[in-house]
Amino acid sequence: MTREDFRDADTTTADSGNRAGGRTVPGPASLASLLVSLGTGAYVVDSKGTVVAVNAHAERLLGRPEEEFLGRDAHDLLHRSRYGAPLPRTQCGMRHAYMAGRTVQSEEEWFERGDGSLVRVSWLVTPCRTDDGADRTLVLFHTPHDPEEVRAPGSRFISPLPELERLALLAETTTQLTATLDVETALRRLVRLVVPQLADWAVVDLVTERGEVRRTTVVHADNGDLVRREDLQGPLAPVPQNSLMPLARALRGVSPALADPSLHRTPDSPFAVEQRRLFAESGIHSAAVAPIRGLREVLGALTLGRADRPDPFTAADLPLVEDVCRRAGLALDNARLYQRQRKVAETMQRHLLPQLPHVPGLEMSARYLAAPDASQVGGDWYDAFVLPDGTTALAVGDVVGHDLDAAAGMAQMRNVLRAYAWSQQDPPSRIVSRLDRAAVHITEVTMATLLFARMSPVGDGRWTLSWTNAGHPPPLLVTRDGEARHLTDGHGILLGSGTDRPRPDGEAELLPGATLLFYTDGLIEEPGRDLEEGMERLRVHAAALAQQSPDRFTDLVLERARPADNDDDVALLTVRVPVDGAASRH
């Protein structure tokens, strides 16, 4: 509201007033008749700022009935920052004016309407005196005619954010993104942080390991929910090196920029065509684009778009978007490094594990499941190989430690065991005893568990199993009819204990259709529960799967018996004595 807008209102109040202290002070008059006579929104507050009267124009403009005004503190009821937050009293110019008894006007103030929406008003406050002689303050206001100046409830992203909100957003971004080492999780958290607080669309384009660009995330706000637009995701065309498009520049590491889709020229490249399609499909009318940088390279770009809200991004928004992207870049860089490390560790572990041999009269299957944490890859292993006398050696073990050192120690332990088993035709207990004495001198393994066994055919499709157990979970034997039991004989102390006590052997007969399962403790161990509970759970599931093929048996045991919250790796080795004695490996 300009001074001219208030001229008639000032005249109305001044006609019956006098001059005092250089300002116009209305004289005694009926408060009700005064408000009715005004052609704009008006209300009157007392010396404490409490509303004592209001006119019909104010009720209509603010969508509030008279009873919502009367007796309420006008500042607490109406005054808001342009971001919808309660306005501190120390920052409210209107309150300062009527508390000081001065006549002041302003072109901008934000009032909260009855439905929670915000409306920008122009206002004038001036002292007045009622017919009972009490000092009051008259507040006159009107709303601009521009409909864009009315903001819906919950609209938060008029730019720029206040400093406290900006710092809070950046702190939350750091906390949320550094709490995960998964790229997909980090991206989901990123879009939740910026939509709808900064924008109603968020688009993330990432540069792959091969230098290609993939649109991995397109999300928009819809009635409080975040909706993913998978039809707008996917690989992008090569980025033109000389393009001045904000996205192309961001992907080259250039500073953040504003993007106005209405100013885009005819697309001059497949990359530009895809960007125009994004804007057309989303309805984005204003966007801010910033690079996502890692420590060594550009990882991608973040595009924030506004489609449902009329206010465009401005240059004042770009520092905040850049700060958000800087934190996102560090988090994504760490996540990628973690995943790279995990892939290397898993690849190393899988290459260290052997290919299963083809043994006439036996079927074998094995699985290795890495731990969820890359640093936990390494210690569990299995092995199977044919000895010179025709017997089959089987082993499963767990080197103490959960890292790449444990994986390397596992490989050393396995190779030494193979050498002893191949060169010496002794019972399993003697071979493991020699391994225990030698390991401290020729490997880097400090402690480990090991189950080592020999299987020999005895005719009529039957096999004998002899084994020794060095502190490892006992093998599980499942008959063709679904009877399952743990083979608890032959149990001795783990490797690396420093003792030289004789180790026992166990022996059992495997009939046609029998299934033997070797496994590591990651399959049965569950935090807060006894190991026996996990062993029993495994026994029950394995018994129910007796008729499944070795491959299917192994997969289902791993799926059903392994605790969901176990963070350890798992190795399994399944040996089946076929009913018909056929030799096949799946």
pLDDT digits (tens, 9 = 90+) for 248-287: 999 998 889 998 887 656 777 899 889 999 999 999 999 9
Range of the domain at 504: 353-576
- Picking from 341, 363, 386, the residue at the C-terminal end of a domain is 341
Query: In this predicted structure, which of 77-81, 126-130, 301-305, 455-459 has the lowest mean pLDDT?
Result: 126-130
Q: Are residues 114 and 52 in the same domain?
A: yes
Q: Are residues 232 and 365 in the same domain?
A: no
Q: Which residues are within 8 A (CB) of 448 and not within 5 positions of it... i.e. 6 or more apart?
A: 397, 398, 399, 400, 409, 413, 439, 470, 494, 495, 496
- Which pLDDT band holds residue 153 (cuts at 50, 70, 90)? very low
CATH number of the domain at 177, please. 3.30.450.40
Which tens digits make up the pLDDT trace of 332-388? Answer: 988 888 777 777 766 666 666 788 999 999 999 999 887 765 445 567 889 999 999
Q: Are residues 101 and 223 in the same domain?
A: no
| 299 part of a folded domain | yes
Q: Are residues 21 and 75 in the same domain?
A: yes
Q: Are residues 303 and 377 in the same domain?
A: no
| 281 part of a folded domain | yes
User: In the predicted model, what is the mean pLDDT of residues 291-301?
Assistant: 92
Q: Are residues 256 and 394 in the same domain?
A: no
Q: Are residues 313 and 399 in the same domain?
A: no
Q: Are residues 395 and 492 in the same domain?
A: yes
CATH number of the domain at 52, please. 3.30.450.20
> Count of domains in the chain?
3
| 586 part of a folded domain | no
- Looking at residue 14, what is its pLDDT? 35
Q: Are residues 195 and 137 in the same domain?
A: no
- Looking at residue 533, what is its pLDDT? 92
Q: Are residues 336 and 357 in the same domain?
A: no
| 204 part of a folded domain | yes
- Picking from 111, 128, 151, the residue at the C-terminal end of a domain is 151
Q: Are residues 231 and 319 in the same domain?
A: yes
Q: Are residues 370 and 240 in the same domain?
A: no
Q: Which residues are within 8 A (CB) of 288 and not within 5 positions of it... i.e. 6 or more apart?
A: 199, 256, 257, 258, 259, 303, 304, 313, 317, 318, 321
User: What are the b/e assignments for 517-544, b being 16+ CB within 10 Å?
Assistant: bbbbbbbbbeeeeeeeebbebbbebbbe
- Looking at residue 143, what is its pLDDT? 80
- Looking at residue 376, what is its pLDDT? 52
| 91 part of a folded domain | yes
- Choose between 228 and 87: higher pLDDT: 228
Report the distance separating Cα 100 and Cα 94, nearest Å.
10
Which tens digits make up the pLDDT trace of 307-332? Answer: 988 889 988 889 899 999 999 999 99
For the chain, what percent of residues have pLDDT higher than 70?
A: 85
| 16 part of a folded domain | yes
| 348 part of a folded domain | no
- Looking at residue 429, what is its pLDDT? 96
Of 534, 473, 519, nearest to 366 (Cα)?
Answer: 519
User: In the predicted model, what is the mean pLDDT of residues 413-437?
Assistant: 92
| 158 part of a folded domain | no
- Looking at residue 12, what is its pLDDT? 37
User: In the predicted model, what is the mean pLDDT of residues 44-72?
Assistant: 91
For the chain, what percent of residues have pLDDT higher than 90?
A: 44
- Picking from 151, 184, 205, the residue at the C-terminal end of a domain is 151
Report the distance separating Cα 237 and Cα 247, nearest Å.
12
Peptide bond preceding 160 in cis form (omega within 30 of 0)? yes
CATH number of the domain at 544, please. 3.60.40.10
- For the chain, the average pLDDT equals 83
